Structure 1
Amino acid sequence: MKGVLLVNLGSPDSPTPKDVKPYLDEFLMDERVIDVSKWLRNIIVRGIILQTRPKKSAEAYSKIWWEEGSPLVVISERFAEKVKQFVDMPVALGMRYGSMTIKNALQELKDKGVDDVLLVPLYPQYAMSSFETVVVKAIEDKDAFFPEMKLTTLPAFYKNQEYIKVLSESIADGLKDFDYDHILFSYHGIPERHIKKSDPTKFHCKIDGNCCSTNSVAHHSCYRHQCFDVTEKVKAYLGLPEDKVSLSFQSRLPNDPWLKPYTDFEFERFPKEGKKKLAVITPAFVSDCLETLEEIAMEGKHQFQEAGGEDYKHIPCLNDRDDWVQVMVNWLKDWQENELLPA
């Protein structure tokens, strides 16, 4: 019997340092997030970061926490419930980090008689620290606890035409009645070395301004290329002016080269160039989360206005939009009936 496992990032159980600390420990100790030797990662995470970060992160979570709970979890649950209404096979929701584990979600599917699972990482682009870690963890849990299960993974869907259409139309909805000077596509940041580690050719990805536009098999696992590709496809779909659209990367750790340009630097630069009405989109996520709601929608707005910006609008992620739900349903039915996966 076939079934579906949707997996998103995860969240602490509450916006308190007590619950944030174990969540951050699991997240940052992931070797695909901080990709150094385990002993060094242990020093960095448990010896340094977790001494101060839980309190700061808890304060950030408190700013965006909903009455029903973590926005990312609540949105993911709403999305999953809508999807269930349109497919006649079991659908479970798990999280890569936190108490809503992948193992528990697989158990839920097994209890319903499922032995053939479609794993759906809820990330449009491929990256070690998002898509890949979900796949690796799901395989580990399946092999350890559910060896009889078959597991198929939905590929990163960044260039799928149906996805680009719903993303573009959600952006168009967000831009209605907003007289913008500029539109910024802000993607989650990752270290430059992650790009090179994910390059199967071990020579194509040089991050030199040309490699992302030069055709290569490396693009199948190149997060940077896929971010550029999404931006270009949305620009083309909506007919956006070339000079009014740009791309950047948010969230980074110090003392390490991460993908550029940095979003916070762009917030400071735009007003100086006369771009004082800014719309910001965050297409590395399909569900709004701490990074989009606090870092971009709140802190980004403050930084932009402090630099002289006037109007600022954060356009929400796809979340549980009906047209996005229908796209996912179409993919699931194609797999259920014909074993077809989106391209």
Structure 2
Amino acid sequence: MKKKGVLLVNLGSPESPEPKHVKKYLGEFLMDERVIDVPLWARTLLVKGIILNTRPKASAAAYKKIWWENGSPLIVLSEQLQEKVQEQTEYPIALAMRYGSMTIKKGLQELVDKGVDEVFLIPLYPQFAMATTETILVLAESLRKEHFPNLKIDSLPAFYNNPDYITVLANSIQDDLKDKNYDHLLFSYHGVPERHIRKSDITKSHCTIDGSCCKTPSPAHEFCYRHQCFEVTRLIAEKLNLPDDSYSTSFQSRLGFDPWLLPYTDRTIERLGKSGVKNMAIVTPAFVSDCLETLEEIAMEGEELFHEVGGKEFSTVPCLNTNEDWVALLAQWINAWALEPTEA
């Protein structure tokens, strides 16, 4: 009988909000060929020649705004999630980050040291994307081949349209907004370059990003980040009975000058404020744990922008974090996987 264990994997964080640590973290993150997917020479020139000489100071200032006494919010919340899920399953659970000191290699080694020889890898991203899920899976397989050849690794597929997940997310949004006044609910997802969508298209022809491809059934949707984001919005809106004109979808955190997914969150906030929306709420369903992108970019910069264009009340819905139903759902998925017969 194989001994089973679980590895939760999230994005990562600098060791501290100091510029030197932020620079190191950004260097590792942005040099990932699935994050900035250009030839190595061009990526090196862009990241090491330009970005790392200009961005770390500003990013460090942003991290300092949201840093908690006990560390990075993303790390602290992920550790709390790990602890709570562990309480609901008998299988050992380790936590790793794709970037930073909490490496996937360390996470796998922790499980192997406990006698585990079959791992359930859970990328903590509802939607599939090259720069998130794929880079985790590719690195984990590379590490397995090099360091853990006897280890079997299964992974949780993107769960963006899982009915139980949609119920948990919808309930969390409803609970948070029940006593808040808002005219419009904005679903803001992390952005990716349009070329990532085309590269992930297994049909090599479906993803035209023309407004119709995401609504037309296709095998491409299994790996289409854009489709999966719009589908989450649709399913949540349906679950909460939201009127068509009361919500919209946007994408944040673009980098560089290449075309990224539209519409942009900052411009959408500006447009809504200028069009007369006085009270708005934002939910960020690309993240399961609050982090720099939700706590600073949305909750701080987004609110400031909204007020500048005439908006009044601005509410942000927390990520699922350690929501009891979310914890229970993760434990349910883990226990169901562990009961599946192991292939010989």
1:89 and 2:82 matched: no
Q: Give CA deviations for 1:205-228 in whole Å, capped at 9, x if unaligned.
A: 000011000000000000000001
- The aligned residue for residue 44 of structure 1 is 46
2:115 is paired with a residue whose SS is: coil
Shift of 1:334: 0.4
Q: Give CA deviations for 1:18-61 in whole Å, capped at 9, x if unaligned.
A: 11111000000000000000011000000000001111111000
Q: What is the root-mean-square deviation in Å for CA atoms of aligned residues?
A: 0.9
Shift of 1:254: 3.1
- The aligned residue for residue 205 of structure 1 is 207
2:141 is paired with a residue whose SS is: helix
1:171 is paired with a residue whose SS is: helix
Shift of 1:255: 1.6
State percent identity of aligned pairs: 61
- The aligned residue for residue 20 of structure 1 is 22
Q: Give CA deviations for 1:109-156 in whole Å, capped at 9, x if unaligned.
A: 000000000100000000000111111111111111111100001000
Q: 1 CA distance for matches of 2:195 and 2:341? A: 35
What is the aligned counterpart of 1:233 among 232, 235, 239? 235
1:25 is paired with a residue whose SS is: helix
- The aligned residue for residue 75 of structure 2 is 73
Q: 2 CA distance for matches of 1:174 and 1:85? A: 25
- The aligned residue for residue 10 of structure 1 is 12
In structure 2, relative to structure 1, the CA distance for the partners of 1:339 and 1:267 (3 Å cut) is farther
After superposing the two structures, state which structure 1 stretch, 212-221 or 246-255, moved more: 246-255
What is the aligned counterpart of 2:57 among 55, 77, 80? 55
2:315 is paired with a residue whose SS is: strand
- The aligned residue for residue 254 of structure 2 is 252
Shift of 1:322: 0.8
**Which stretches of structure 1, 4 residues or longer, exceed 3 Å deviation after superposition?**
none
Q: 1 CA distance for matches of 2:275 and 2:305? A: 15
- The aligned residue for residue 138 of structure 2 is 136
- The aligned residue for residue 162 of structure 1 is 164
In structure 2, relative to structure 1, the CA distance for the partners of 1:201 and 1:190 (3 Å cut) is same
What is the aligned counterpart of 1:307 among 297, 306, 309? 309
2:121 is paired with a residue whose SS is: strand
Which amino acid counterpart does residue 328 of structure 1 have in structure 2? L
Shift of 1:339: 5.5
What is the aligned counterpart of 1:222 among 198, 221, 224? 224
Shift of 1:89: 1.0
Q: Give CA deviations for 1:258-284 in whole Å, capped at 9, x if unaligned.
A: 000000001111122111100000000
Shift of 1:338: 2.1
Q: 2 CA distance for matches of 1:6 and 1:48? A: 33
Q: 2 CA distance for matches of 1:176 and 1:143? A: 49
Normalised by the length of structure 2, the TM-score is: 0.98
What is the aligned counterpart of 1:115 among 110, 114, 117? 117
Shift of 1:168: 0.3
- The aligned residue for residue 149 of structure 1 is 151
**What is the number of residues matched between the two proteins?**
340
- The aligned residue for residue 197 of structure 2 is 195
2:55 is paired with a residue whose SS is: helix
Q: 2 CA distance for matches of 1:60 and 1:225? A: 30
Q: What runs of 5+ residues in structure 2 fail to find an aligned partner?
A: none
Normalised by the length of structure 1, the TM-score is: 0.98
Which amino acid counterpart does residue 170 of structure 1 have in structure 2? S
Which amino acid counterpart does residue 14 of structure 2 have in structure 1? P
